[in-house]
Amino acid sequence: MNLPALPSVVGLVPDPRWALLLDVDGTLLHIAETPDGVVRSATLCHLLSRLVPALDGAVALISGRTIEDLDRLFAPLKPPAAGLHGLEHRNAQGQVSTLGEAKALDHLRAPLAEFAAGHKGLLLEDKGRALAFHYRLAPQREAEVKHKIETLTGGTQDLRTIHGKMVVEIKPRHADKGSAVRAFMAEAPFRGRIPVFLGDDVTDEDAFEAVNDLNGLSICVDPAQETAARYRLNGVDQVLQWLARIADSLNPGGEE
């Protein structure tokens, strides 16, 4: 597949009017074999702590992880965050709202857990109001995994299945990363700013489209993904370098 060449954002002059909306796995953190295997460096937290004052607090995480898990990964920071692809939302004042119910997925838990237990390398991650079925350790079972999930979820109109990188996410249709972007941009301190969203996966496409509609910067962190994003970066390391450049430009003294 010949993908369209997208410009890099590296050459853009950092703008103090930006609002940074950041995916986590594959964008800020290198993807690990299992969700618990990711490694967060102290350097990343220090970088985020510099970006927050530089952008007057307009920095948020938008992830498939729960907000509780994000707080564990980024402690002691507790930035505004959208978890479970927008089913959880924490604003800048620390107020948390949720959508969807865990019981909507009850009929899937036992059969998916049994399926995972019966095949080496498969992992069911139960996040309460969302499920993630990982096959990174058994990529040869991709077709089998997708067929199993399609069979179990077929005809269920209130659920959405998203095929990410070696993972299938199952969640209620109440929200997605696009609605998470719009929610942040409608509230302080994001309101009136230019949305800048970085993501690396199919699960981020809703956010790219929302940012495009809002005349912001949509940045795909994967050189090989077909995407609605209008810019590219080539991986986590380049993302961190670019964010450091923003911090250096807008917060040159490094004050926290």
Look at residue 1 and tell me whether its pLDDT is greater than 50. Answer: no
Claim to verify: residue 215 and residue 227 sit in the same structural domain: yes
On whether both 44 and 91 belong to a single domain, the answer is: yes
Q: How long a stretch of residues is the chain?
A: 256
- Strands 88-90, 81-83: pairing is antiparallel
Q: Decide: pTM greater than 0.85.
A: yes
The residue behind tokens 């853009």 is 12
Between 95 and 7, whose confidence is greater?
Answer: 95
Please tell me the distance from the alpha carbon of residue 110 to that of residue 59, in angstroms, as a whole number: 38
pLDDT by residue (tens digit) across 39-91? Answer: 877 789 999 999 999 999 999 999 999 999 999 999 999 999 999 999 999 99
Q: What is the CATH number of the domain that holds 234?
A: 3.40.50.1000
Domain membership of residue 162 (yes or no) is: yes
Domain tally for the chain?
A: 2
Residue 163 belongs to a domain with what CATH number?
A: 3.30.70.1020
CB 256 within 8 A of CB 49: yes
Higher pLDDT, 82 or 102: 82
Q: Given 15, 23, 222, 237, which residue is catalytic?
A: 23
Question: What phi and psi values does residue 98 have, to the nearest 5 degrees?
Answer: -135, 155
pLDDT-above-90 percentage for the chain: 76
pLDDT of residue 256: 45
- List all residues 6 or more positions away from 42 whose beta carbon is below 8 Å from its beta carbon: none
User: Residue 194's CB: how many other CB atoms inside 10 A?
Assistant: 17
pLDDT at 235 over 50: yes
Q: Give residue-wise pLDDT tens across range 114-154.
A: 999 999 999 999 999 999 999 999 999 999 999 999 999 98
Same-domain pairing of 150 and 244: no
Judged against a pLDDT cut of 60, whether residue 249 lies above it is answered with: yes
Which residue reads 């927050």 in tokens?
52
Whether 69 is catalytic? no
Q: Which domain holds residue 62?
A: 18-99+175-250
79 occurs within a structural domain: yes
- Cα gap 87→177, rounded to integer Å: 9
DSSP 33-84: SSGGG----HHHHHHHHHHHHHTTT-EEEE-SS-HHHHHHHHTT----EEEG
Q: What pLDDT score was predicted for residue 4?
A: 61
- Tell which of 172, 188, 205 closes a domain: 172
Dihedral sign, CA of 93, 99, 101, 107?
A: negative
The predicted model gives 25-30 an average pLDDT of 94
Is 99's pLDDT higher than 80? yes
* Planar angle of CA 90, 91, 94, nearest 5 degrees: 75
Domain stops at, among 157, 172, 187: 172
